[in-house]
Amino acid sequence: MSVSSETGLASGATQSGLRNHNERLILSMIRQLAPVPASDLARQVSLSAQTVSVIVRDLERDGILTRGDPVRGRVGKPSIPMMLAADGAFSVGLKIGRRTADLALMDLSGRIRGQKLLSYRYPRPDAIAAFLRNGLPELTALVPEPMRPRIRGLGIAMPFEIWKWAEAIGAPAEEIGAWNDIDFPAEIARMTDLPVHLMNDATAACRAEHHFGAGTGYRDYAYFFVGSFIGGGVALNGVVLDGNQGNAGALGSLQCVDAEGRPVQLIDRASLHLLETRIAADGHDPARMWDRNEDWSRFEPHVGRWIAESAREMARASLSACAVLDFEAVIVDGAFPAGVRARLVEAIRAELDLLDARGVYRPAVVEGRVGHNARVTGAAFAPISEGYFLNAGAF
């Protein structure tokens, strides 16, 4: 088992033995700039045109790169733009959440080729293992057999110490406690020959936003993902941080107080399980929150009240985070409809304006763009990222 990590991009290296670095550097540039001619790449990565030409030719031969249509200039031969070949590599992502699990197949371009969903009242290791055991062959069958060796690995995004949240999600302590008794990634590794990459679910969501969403526009930001429990991630200098224990950006654990002034965590004040509980107490079925039909209007006025309360706490948490690392932005996403996300972001902005910000620069508060699929997208991208790309931190 390996834990996903990121390495900062640097200038190209021409010394013997570092060609793998140069390949990753060129692939990372192509991923960001594609389609791009090889001549432009040489200028971007500070390598000789000959070195870039050789690497690009080899990557094309291996099926990692493909040519675009020739572009004619005013003089000389037309340039040939290069881009990632979508079928050049594949990976699988598994997201384990408090109410749903997702399994997805991703190609080298970052597109989800197939996806499966499992809903439950609470996550049980045996049920999720069966979901993976049955779903993995179905998804890998979507890859033509000659290309299946190109499946780079399985990324798993899950809450760390999930067994500590049994009461909050209404799960029997003895069943949810089973997570504490097994090495789940090791169990999964026995089911597949694919390399297994384990990461925190909110960090995985942050990686997805960083590479495919609003995070592409910022170098330094705090990221909130609001699911059954709120979590987060952080990016500095264009790099999503893992942290010493793989738990950087655990924003849900920021301290706040409840209505009676007692110390609690942000997770107790701004998570979707609070909305779920109120909906159930009012005699409605909260399971319909998770059916992804993008319509929560049936749950008003509970949604409006939850937005107001959560925005107040998230604004305070945002300012606290900025007091430490001076983020230029706070990105907010979650497992809710886009309309709810927009309302929440607008409410956070309004609450932020009311806070005492002496000594702190108020960050821009922006909407995330990946949504429900952020965690499984980040999980699936981890094996591809580790195999083919460097981090975008030096761009």
Q: What are the sequence ranges of the domains in the chain?
A: 2-87, 88-201+376-388, 214-369
pLDDT, tens digit, for every residue of 15-70?
433 458 899 999 999 998 888 988 888 888 888 889 999 999 999 999 999 998 88
pLDDT, tens digit, for every residue of 238-274?
999 998 888 899 999 999 988 888 999 999 999 999 9
Rounded CA separation 99/290 (Å): 8
List beta partners, residue 255. 265
Please give the full DSSP string across 228-265, using - where no structure is assigned: SSEEEEEEETTEE---TTS-TT-GGG-EEE-TTS-EEE
Q: How many Å separate Cα 147 from the centre of its chain? A: 26
Q: How many Å separate Cα 389 from the centre of its chain? A: 16
State the pTM of this model. 0.90
Are the folds of 2-87 and 88-201+376-388 the same? no
* Token reading at 342: 């927009």
> Which class is domain 214-369?
alpha beta
Query: Residue 146: how many CA atoms within 13 Å on its side-chain side?
Result: 2
CATH of 88-201+376-388, one of 3.40.190.10, 3.40.50.280, 3.30.420.40, 3.40.50.2300: 3.30.420.40
132-152 mean pLDDT: 96
Q: Give the residue, 285 or 151, on which the prediction is more confident.
A: 151
Q: Is 2-87 a domain of CATH 3.30.450.20?
A: no
3-state secondary structure at position 160: coil
* Token reading at 381: 């991208």
CA-nearest of 3, 2, 1 to 244 is 3
CA angle centred on 259, ends 256 and 261, rounded to 5°: 60
Calculated CA dihedral for residues 199, 90, 128, 192, nearest 10 degrees: -100
CA-nearest of 161, 141, 159, 160 to 151 is 141
Rg of the chain on CA atoms, in Å: 22
Rounded CA separation 184/1 (Å): 11
Q: How does DSSP classify residue 355?
A: S
Give CA separation, 103 vs 2, 117, 243, in Å: 19, 7, 26
The two counts, helices (H) then strands (E), for the chain are 11, 16
Q: Are 196 and 153 in contact (CB under 8 A)?
A: yes
pLDDT, tens digit, for every residue of 114-125?
999 999 888 889
Q: Are 220 and 328 in contact (CB under 8 A)?
A: yes
